[in-house]
Amino acid sequence: MARFEQERNFLKSNFVEFKKIRTDKMNGFPKPPSVKAYDALSKTITLPEVSENVVKKQHIHDLIKNRRSTRFYSDEHLSIEELSYLLWATQGITGTTKNGLTLRTVPCSGATHTFETYLFIMRVDGIPQGIYRYLPVEHQLLFMFKLDEIDNKLDAITLEQPFVPNFAKKAAIAFAWSTTPYRSEWKYDISAHKKILIDIGHVSQNLYLTSESIEAGACAIGIYDQMMVDDILQLDGEEEFVVFMAAVGKKQK
Ligand SMILES: Cc1cc2nc3c(=O)[nH]c(=O)nc-3n(C[C@H](O)[C@H](O)[C@H](O)COP(=O)(O)O)c2cc1C
């Protein structure tokens, strides 16, 4: 099927072609920063130290078995400790390589970690509603801005949901993971893009399993309006853009 050919090729390993390329890294271009910079005068919230006390279900076997995409949420708030745990589980730093790369709770091709985590916070105890960015090195939240009608804006971004219409606006929080592809392209050139998509799958699965462990539920969101979300999060849409989203909330009983 000719019209699928190009997209299917994207799924294949292009390692042989990649071997013929001199990457920007080989050509001596400077290594891009591994995390996004921020203004030191910005308002930040220090997240509580990650503690397993928030975990209500411990058994990995049960978490894997019982995980489902959850699209019906109660009005219950998440606690700031639970949010701290979910952020750590999806992008938290747990080590560094001898070359200064971060190692995190999720595996990632060549430890390139091209993602930034943006949050639509609707219902978390002690955190005003608004748009935030996770600072993994500091384990802090960077307050970006208050967004009027945050739930309706999220609804507009995630329109045309096939299973449960308008579910995201009822979540306690929504994750929007951006990618800065050059962090991987610098090293992997044309083979970066497939890797980035595989990497984000690992992030999402950790969110699913840890949400389940705190008796909340997550639902991945691949159907979203690219331009609208990039625009709201003030991303340029070329060097950095949203690559995946997910909603999380306490489950409706
Ligand atoms: C890449 C990806 C994109 C998805 N996008 C959406 C979405 O936009 N809306 C939605 O309701 N569910 C979405 N889902 C959830 C799937 O529909 C769900 O995983 C699937 O129906 C299987 O159900 P389960 O997760 O409960 O096992 C997505 C899942 C993945 C992995």
How confident is the model over 136-171, as pLDDT tens digits?
A: 999 999 999 999 999 999 999 999 899 999 999 999
- Give, in order, the Cα–Cα distances in Å from 96 to each of 74, 137, 189: 39, 11, 23
Mutate to test the pocket of ligand 1, among 219, 224, 225 (most ligand atoms within 8 A of CB): 219
What is the distance of C-alpha 171 from the center of its chain?
A: 16
Q: Please report, in angstroms and rounded to a whole number, the separation of the first and last CA atoms in the chain.
A: 46
Residues with Cβ < 8 Å from 88, sequence gap 6 or more? 50, 105, 139
Residue 217 CA to ligand 1 center (angstroms) comes to: 12
Is residue 63 a contact partner of residue 57, using CB atoms and an 8 Å limit?
yes
3-state SS, residue 112: coil
Query: 163 CA distance to ligand 1 centroid (A)?
Result: 9
Ligand 1 pocket, 65 CB below 6 A?
no
Please give the pLDDT value at position 52: 94
Q: Are 173 and 119 in contact (CB under 8 A)?
A: yes
Separation between Cα atoms, residue 170 and residue 174, nearest integer Å: 10
User: How many percent of the chain have pLDDT more than 90?
Assistant: 96
- Please state, in angstroms and rounded to a whole number, the distance separating the CA atoms of residues 195 and 220: 19
In this prediction the pTM is: 0.98
Amino acid identity for residue 253 in this structure: K
Nearest atom in ligand 1 to 71's CA = 11
The amino acid at residue 153 is K
Single out the residue of 128, 235, 250, 137 nearest to residue 178, CA to CA.
235
User: Which residue CA neighbors atom 14 of ligand 1 most closely?
Assistant: 220
Name the pLDDT band for 253 (thresholds 50, 70, 90). confident
Beta partners for residue 132, in sequence order? 119, 143
Contacts for 111 with CB less than 8 Å, ≥ 6 apart: 97, 101, 102, 103
Q: Which residues contact 162 (CB under 8 A, 6 or more apart)?
A: 223
Contacts for 1 with CB less than 8 Å, ≥ 6 apart = none
Query: Cα(10) to centroid of ligand 1, in Å?
Result: 21
How confident is the model at residue 130, as a pLDDT? 98
> Which residue has a Cα nearest atom 31 of ligand 1?
220
Distance from C-alpha of 86 to C-alpha of 81, rounded to nearest angstrom: 9
Q: How many CB atoms lie within 10 A of CB 221?
A: 25
Tens digits of residue pLDDT in 227-245: 999 999 999 999 999 999 9
